Amino acid sequence: MGHISFKRKDVIIFILIMTFVSVCSEGIIMNRYYKKKKEIHMGCKKMGMQYIDEFFQLNQDVIEQRLPDKMDASFLDKKDGLLEYRVFNLEGKIISPLEKKDDYLAGSDVFYLDAQSWALGRHRSHKHTYGSNTIDWEVKVIELARAILIPDRKSLVRRYWGMIAVRVNVSECRKIKSL
């Protein structure tokens, strides 16, 4: 009764081996899935940073001339994968997009308010870019912001004036990547 026949030992060993192979295969598949997801998120983040860099290139002269109200971000209206963007000063006054011009950040603008708060507490960090560095697998939007530094009239030291913030749609970014 307590003795297992040779055939049952083979079946048990076979089941153990198949379980081991199944677990290993699942680990490999999940690892590939997470790598692909990370690749997509990093691509979206890169796309968002590229849009921010374009903003600074196009507005370099206006920033150097200390004319922040003349900054133009309208080119972002037509960018693929871009859900929305804001250019705003430290008081929360929106400069761009035009349909929001002269409005102030509101309670529903959580990311933009967080970016503004980060910029106001900038003494804690020498970084000029704000956004999440972690990959959340459920995230549908990548949010990034960069400080706009304007030269001070007297000392010419660059001072925080405001932020440009972008929100990139991950699913749209994925579609663009696959084209």
pLDDT the model gives residue 49: 92
Q: Which of 6-10, 24-28, 81-85 has the highest mean pLDDT?
A: 81-85
- pLDDT one-digit tens code per residue, 108-166: 888 888 888 888 876 545 567 777 655 555 668 888 999 888 887 788 788 888 899 99
pLDDT the model gives residue 126: 55
Average pLDDT of the segment spanning 65-84: 88
What's the pLDDT band for 179 if we cut at 50, 70, 90?
very low
pLDDT of residue 36 exceeding 80: no
What's the pLDDT band for 58 if we cut at 50, 70, 90?
very high
Average pLDDT over all residues of the chain:
81
pLDDT the model gives residue 134: 54
pLDDT the model gives residue 136: 57
- CATH architecture, domain defined by 32-178: 2-Layer Sandwich (3.30)
pLDDT the model gives residue 122: 62
pLDDT of residue 52 exceeding 90: yes
Rounded CA gap, 159 and 105, in Å? 21
In sequence order, the 6+-apart residues with CB closer than 8 A to the CB of 94 are 86, 87, 88, 100, 101, 102, 103, 104, 105
Asked if residue 144 lies in contact with residue 47, where contact means CB atoms within 8 angstroms, the answer is no
